């Protein structure tokens, strides 16, 4: 039975990928996580509730990647064919206040995992997939959709640390032949997301009749926009990647369509059936480091045969229904 090592597997995106691979494949999965504010074992417990037999194929190891993976931890992990590296500091606001934390988590942490890959896993490893972000390219002017190898233009310490980690991955590919693959994805949403994130926050505020803050331009006439993508689609892309990749390459995983944050809030309010109360706020001028628009080109993955499985509105209906039905646990 082949094995995947998933770092950050108790996190929001990671646990959805685990669920998809447990449900749709026979892979064994080892989770490496330090269980900080992002990691939550309750997510994995709920995944296993779907099918308790999956527990025999899932192993959890506590480790903080700021420390190297020594021989003892490597022995616990065992032989792996695939590494999905999702563990990362990802809170933009915190990176602005504490940039060195993000250098340690994202650059040093990634380098420690790359060292593990070349030292302990080189005989069996087929893929080291680094899960990066659209933010490494910076704000996208209207009409611009960044391709995989476009230049970096990091707008904050978080995105700079992710770009730095990408370059370390490519260095290990070129120097040590670690079979690196890099993906960029955009704003991910889904069930069991932290309630501070935009979509669950809007769901809660609309439900409770509270005003939603919409980040906008300085004139407060236009909201920031994104290509939001559901975790189920991200997980399907990762499963697709297992059989469709070239080492040393990069791939953009892009949502179905672009939507600005005011449009998105209105869609959510319509689905819930309540009035949207909102305020436009020029957050970007007062707090540098946040970008108005991110955009990636998804043509490469589309030409290979992968696109999102459902429309944005359908995904939102699923997430809203589940979130409101499980609000006691996931919408506090």
**184 alpha carbon, distance to own chain's centre:** 9
Q: What angle is formed at CA 157 by the lines to CA 156 and CA 159, rounded to 5 degrees?
A: 70
Task: Name the active-site residue from 116, 146, 158, 172.
Answer: 158
Which pLDDT tens digit goes with each residue over 25-50?
Answer: 999 999 999 998 788 899 999 999 99
Residue 289: band (very low, low, confident or very high) from pLDDT cuts 50, 70, 90: low
d(CA 262, CA 266): 6
Question: Residue 286: what pLDDT?
Answer: 57
Residue 158: active-site member: yes
Cβ–Cβ < 8 Å for 106, 88: yes
Q: Whole-angstrom Cα distance, residue 219 to residue 216?
A: 8
- Between CA 8 and CA 63 the distance in angstroms is 10
Backbone angles phi, psi at 188, to 5 degrees: -95, 140
Give backbone dihedrals phi and psi of 71, rounded to 5 degrees, phi first.
Answer: -60, -35
The stretch 297-309 carries a mean pLDDT of 97
How far is residue 106's CA from residue 70's CA, in Å, rounded to a whole number? 19
Give the whole-angstrom CA distance, residue 42 versus residue 58.
14
Q: What is the distance between the alpha carbons of residues 36 and 64, in angstroms, rounded to a whole number?
A: 10
Walk me through the domains of the chain, giving residue ranges and CATH numbers. Answer: 3-188+228-253 (3.40.50.720), 193-226+258-292+310-330 (3.90.25.10)
Q: Tell me the average pLDDT across 189-214.
A: 95
Selection from 190, 203, 186 nearest residue 252 by Cα: 186
pLDDT at 329: 86
Q: What is the mean pLDDT of residues 172-183?
A: 98
pLDDT higher than 80, residue 16: yes
- Rounded to an integer, what distance in angstroms lies between the CA atom of residue 155 and that of residue 137? 8
């Amino acid at each position: 039975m082949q094995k995947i090592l998933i770092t950050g597997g108790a996190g929001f995106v990671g646990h959805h990928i685990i669920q998809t691979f447990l449900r749709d494949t026979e892979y064994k999965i080892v989770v490496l996580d330090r269980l900080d504010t992002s990691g939550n074992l309750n997510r994995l417990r709920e995944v296993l509730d779907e099918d308790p037999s999956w527990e025999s194929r899932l192993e959890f190891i506590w480790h903080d990647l700021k420390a190297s993976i020594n021989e003892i931890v490597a022995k616990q992990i065992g032989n792996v064919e695939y590494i999905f590296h999702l563990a990362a500091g990802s809170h933009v606001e915190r990176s602005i206040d504490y940039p060195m934390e993000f250098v340690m988590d994202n650059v040093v942490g990634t380098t420690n995992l790359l060292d593990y890959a070349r030292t302990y896993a080189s005989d069996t490893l087929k893929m080291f997939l680094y899960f990066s972000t659209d933010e490494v390219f910076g704000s996208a002017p209207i009409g611009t959709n960044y391709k995989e190898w476009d230049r970096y233009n990091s707008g904050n310490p978080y995105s700079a640390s992710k770009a730095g980690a990408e370059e370390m991955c490519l260095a290990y590919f070129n120097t040590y032949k670690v079979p690196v693959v890099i993906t960029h994805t955009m704003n991910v949403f889904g069930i069991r997301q932290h309630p501070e994130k935009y979509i669950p926050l809007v769901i809660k505020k609309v439900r409770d009749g509270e005003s939603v803050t919409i980040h906008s331009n300085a004139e407060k006439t236009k909201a920031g926009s994104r290509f939001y993508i559901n975790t189920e689609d991200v997980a399907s892309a990762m499963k697709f990647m297992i059989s469709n990749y070239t080492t040393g390459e990069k791939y953009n995983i892009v949502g179905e369509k672009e939507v600005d944050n005011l449009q998105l809030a209105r869609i959510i309010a319509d689905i819930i059936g309540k009035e949207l109360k909102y305020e436009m706020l020029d957050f970007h001028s007062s707090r540098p480091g946040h970008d108005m628009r991110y955009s990636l080109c998804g043509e490469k993955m589309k030409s290979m045969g992968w696109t999102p499985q459902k429309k944005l509105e359908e995904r939102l209906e699923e997430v809203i229904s589940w979130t409101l039905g499980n609000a006691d646990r996931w919408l506090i």
